[in-house]
């Protein structure tokens, strides 16, 4: 998803007054710096540990970094959207700082990190406020960061304004120990199957979803196959007389 600043038309709708307040191996303590929040270090191509990395990139070392909060001005229409959202929430009696954990501008994308208990109110405001009018949610993406302790599971909602030709994202987190976030199906009904898919693959439970069942995997499948702690597994096969072990039993080059 690419969001180029300035592509959308100027917003002529009067808005609220501006109320903006300004891998798996060798994890390191969280730290905040100008480049973002470093939550860990990943070794090898896939962060495999004790075997399983057959890529030959065992010597590759990469930091796992999440973008940090951005400072104003965000640029282009990003400030207009942030001002309008924060002003609308304040008019509803919700302090923006209580709902919005941080605002991030990264790679020309605007993302509001929302506390999960306020997700529905923020989503409804984004849809209904005349100066925002994000009428369409094109889906929710799941991400699992093992290193992000206390908020390992991330859900990212992609919102599009047909009226103003704009794209933003809402991101919420939940810990592995309590993988619950509110369903937004009552606000964006098209998210029904998207939330089922994220539940199916990541184990995120969307409270209030009308029928939260698996959508891709068999109903009796054990575990959630796109989580970082899910075993590679697999079935050994015979190929031209040779026995090929399952992926998690193969020789590792790391």
Average pLDDT, the chain: 83
Which SS3 state, helix, strand or coil, does residue 229 take?
coil
For residue 235, the tally of other CB atoms under 10 A from its CB is 8
Q: Which residue has the higher pLDDT, 88 or 54?
A: 88
pLDDT tens column, 227-248: 988 876 666 677 777 777 776 6
Are 51 and 110 in the same domain?
no
| Strand intervals (E) in 124-200 | 136-144, 153-161, 166-174, 180-182
- The reply to whether 97 falls in a domain is yes
Sign of torsion, CA 107 109 110 115?
Answer: negative
- pTM across the whole model: 0.78
- Which residue in this structure is represented by tokens 């992926």? 247
Strand 100-106, strand 36-43: pairing: unpaired
Closest CA to 185 of 214, 206, 205, 204: 206
Are 142 and 214 in the same domain?
yes
Q: What is the mean pLDDT of residues 100-105?
A: 96
Range of the structural domain that residue 42 is part of:
37-66
- The reply to whether 112 falls in a domain is yes
Res 221: pLDDT: 87
- The reply to whether 239 falls in a domain is no
Are 219 and 120 in the same domain?
yes
Are 62 and 86 in the same domain?
no
Are 50 and 112 in the same domain?
no
User: Does 25 score more than 80 pLDDT?
Assistant: no
Are 218 and 103 in the same domain?
yes
Are 60 and 78 in the same domain?
no
- At 31, the pLDDT band (50, 70, 90 cuts) reads very low
- The reply to whether 217 falls in a domain is yes
pLDDT tens column, 40-75: 888 776 665 655 566 667 678 888 888 999 999 999
Q: What is the mean pLDDT of residues 21-38?
A: 49
Are 169 and 216 in the same domain?
yes
Beta-carbon contacts of 145 under 8 Å, excluding residues fewer than 6 positions away, are: 39, 64, 66, 151, 152, 154, 228
Q: Are 104 and 70 spatial neighbours (Cβ–Cβ below 8 Å)?
A: yes
CA distances from 131 to 26, 83, 117, 119 (A): 46, 10, 24, 19
- Domain count for the chain: 2
pLDDT tens column, 171-214: 999 999 999 999 999 999 999 999 999 999 999 999 999 999 99
Are 103 and 55 in the same domain?
no
User: Does 24 score more than 50 pLDDT?
Assistant: no
Helices within the chain (DSSP H only):
78-91, 96-99, 119-128, 192-202
Res 75: pLDDT: 94
Closest CA to 201 of 147, 144, 150, 119: 144
Strand 61-66, strand 100-106: pairing: unpaired
- The reply to whether 78 falls in a domain is yes
User: Does 88 score more than 80 pLDDT?
Assistant: yes
- The reply to whether 238 falls in a domain is no
Are 54 and 127 in the same domain?
no
CATH number at residue 181: 3.30.460.80
Q: What is the mean pLDDT of residues 134-163?
A: 96
Residue 25 CB burial class (10 angstroms; 0-12, 13-18, ≥19): middle
Are 60 and 185 in the same domain?
no
- The reply to whether 25 falls in a domain is no
Q: Which residue has the higher pLDDT, 50 or 34?
A: 50
Checking phi first, is residue 225 left (phi over 0); if not, alpha (psi -120 to 50) or beta? alpha
- The reply to whether 194 falls in a domain is yes
User: Does 107 score more than 80 pLDDT?
Assistant: yes
Q: What is the mean pLDDT of residues 11-33?
A: 40
Are 153 and 51 in the same domain?
no
Q: Are 190 and 184 spatial neighbours (Cβ–Cβ below 8 Å)?
A: no
């Amino acid at each position: 998803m690419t969001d180029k600043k300035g592509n959308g038309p100027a917003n002529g709708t009067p808005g609220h007054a501006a109320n903006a307040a300004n891998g798996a191996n060798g994890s390191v303590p969280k730290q905040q710096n100008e480049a973002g929040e470093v939550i860990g270090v990943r070794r090898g191509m896939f962060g495999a540990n004790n075997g399983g990395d057959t890529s030959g990139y065992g010597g590759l070392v990469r930091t796992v970094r999440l973008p940090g909060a951005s400072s104003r001005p965000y640029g282009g229409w990003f400030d207009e959207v942030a001002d309008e959202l924060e002003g609308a929430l304040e008019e509803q009696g919700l302090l923006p700082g209580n709902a919005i954990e941080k605002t991030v501008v990264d790679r020309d994308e605007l993302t509001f990190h929302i506390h999960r208990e306020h997700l529905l109110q923020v989503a409804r405001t984004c849809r209904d406020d005349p100066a925002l009018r994000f009428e369409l949610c094109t889906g929710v993406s799941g991400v699992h960061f093992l290193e992000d302790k206390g908020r390992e599971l991330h859900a990212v909602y992609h919102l599009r304004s047909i009226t103003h030709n704009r794209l933003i994202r809402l991101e919420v987190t939940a810990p592995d120990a309590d993988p619950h976030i509110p369903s937004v199906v009552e606000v964006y009904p098209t998210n029904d199957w998207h939330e089922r898919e994220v539940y199916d693959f990541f184990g995120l439970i969307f409270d209030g979803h009308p029928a939260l069942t698996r959508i891709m995997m068999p109903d009796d499948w054990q575990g959630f196959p796109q989580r970082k702690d899910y075993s590679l597994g697999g079935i050994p096969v015979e190929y031209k007389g040779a026995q090929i072990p399952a992926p998690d039993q193969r020789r590792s080059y790391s």
